[in-house]
């Protein structure tokens, strides 16, 4: 979508700037954003920076580390203010922000979701652990016991990521088509086996991701608040 968000001269490399980790990573992110994960090869990135591919290894141990760096860079765009007294409002805001972040960098989402599956907590890029730490902080400062804060975090973040995946999966295949079935490519499904899905095509076609996210978060947060010893409010079973 957007052509340029990062300080990168892709076609006209300003020949002799000294490279830096930030430069490399933001060029990598730009490449991923504009052409997808597969386009991020060492050679391509080197070319983008006007440098030999091998020079990149000064700034990332290998391709996997490069991917981790990109994840980290993206997650750093997420602002968390840990001393907001209204934890629910804060979590709602973060959810919206993260959703927008994902929509802005859809090609990075697979990384965000996948890389932690192959890296133990303690070995992850610190930037990717920051949201966890800060949300825990937020909740504990709001009065939750640490154990309960962890529960809230898990339910919240789990749902949040799940929603983002959901929303990104339901993308429209052909926006010019005005028949809902065709827009989503659902006409290929055998009507006998997928009657419900096909019938829901019009509803699927206009999906308000933000509202949906909000509703889920609300249900979850108020449910959690009702089940746990609460800091502020008072609903008690």
**24: which 2 tokens?**
């490399």
- 120 contributes a contact to a copy of itself by CB under 8 A: yes
Burial (CB count <10 Å: 0-12, 13-18, 19+), residue 216: middle
- 114 contributes a contact to a copy of itself by CB under 8 A: yes
- 57 contributes a contact to DNA by CB under 7 A: yes
- 219 contributes a contact to DNA by CB under 7 A: no
Tokens 């609460």 found at: 230
- 119 contributes a contact to DNA by CB under 7 A: no
- 63 contributes a contact to DNA by CB under 7 A: yes
Q: Which does 150 bind (CB under 5 to 8 A by kind): DNA, a copy of itself, none?
A: a copy of itself
Q: Is 172 helix (H, G, I), strand (E, B) or coil?
A: coil
Q: Which stretch binds DNA (CB under 7 A): 49-57, 75-83, 85-93, 154-162?
A: 49-57
E strand or H helix at 204: helix 201-205
- 227 contributes a contact to a copy of itself by CB under 8 A: yes
Q: Which does 42 bind (CB under 5 to 8 A by kind): DNA, a copy of itself, none?
A: DNA
Residue closer to a copy of itself by CB (options 45, 184) is 184
Q: Which stretch binds a copy of itself (CB under 8 A): 27-35, 69-77, 90-98, 159-167?
A: 159-167
Contact 138, 87 (CB under 8 A): yes
- 100 contributes a contact to DNA by CB under 7 A: no
- 193 contributes a contact to a copy of itself by CB under 8 A: yes
- 136 contributes a contact to a copy of itself by CB under 8 A: yes
Instruction: Tally Cβ neighbours within 10 Å of residue 109.
Output: 20
| Per rule CB under 7 A, count of chain residues that contact DNA | 19
Burial (CB count <10 Å: 0-12, 13-18, 19+), residue 227: middle
| Per rule CB under 8 A, count of chain residues that contact a copy of itself | 66
Cα 88 to Cα 95: distance, rounded to the nearest angstrom: 11
Instruction: Tally Cβ neighbours within 10 Å of residue 116.
Output: 17
Cα 215 to Cα 21: distance, rounded to the nearest angstrom: 40
Q: Report in angstroms how near the CB of residue 177 gets to DNA at its nearest.
A: 28
């Amino acid at each position: 979508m957007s052509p340029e968000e990062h300080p990168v001269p892709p076609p006209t490399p300003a020949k002799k700037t000294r490279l830096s980790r930030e430069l490399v990573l933001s060029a990598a992110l730009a490449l991923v954003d504009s052409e997808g994960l597969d386009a991020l090869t060492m050679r391509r990135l080197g070319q983008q920076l006007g440098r030999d591919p091998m020079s990149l290894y000064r700034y990332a141990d290998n391709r996997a580390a490069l991917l981790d760096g990109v994840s980290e860079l993206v997650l750093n765009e997420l602002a968390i203010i840990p001393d907001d007294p209204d934890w629910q409002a804060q979590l709602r805001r973060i959810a919206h922000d993260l959703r927008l972040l994902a929509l802005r960098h859809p090609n990075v989402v697979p990384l965000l979701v996948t890389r932690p599956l192959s890296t133990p907590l303690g070995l992850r890029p610190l930037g990717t652990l920051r949201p966890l730490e800060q949300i825990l902080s937020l909740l504990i400062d709001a009065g939750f016991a640490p154990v309960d804060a962890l529960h809230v975090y898990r339910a919240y973040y789990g749902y949040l990521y799940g929603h983002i995946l959901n929303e990104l999966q339901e993308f429209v295949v052909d926006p010019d088509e005005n028949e809902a079935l065709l827009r989503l490519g659902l006409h290929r499904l055998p009507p006998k086996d997928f009657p419900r899905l096909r019938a829901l095509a019009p509803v699927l076609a206009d999906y308000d991701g933000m509202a949906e996210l909000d509703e889920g978060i609300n249900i979850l947060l108020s449910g959690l608040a009702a089940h746990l010893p609460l800091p502020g409010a008072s609903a008690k079973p």
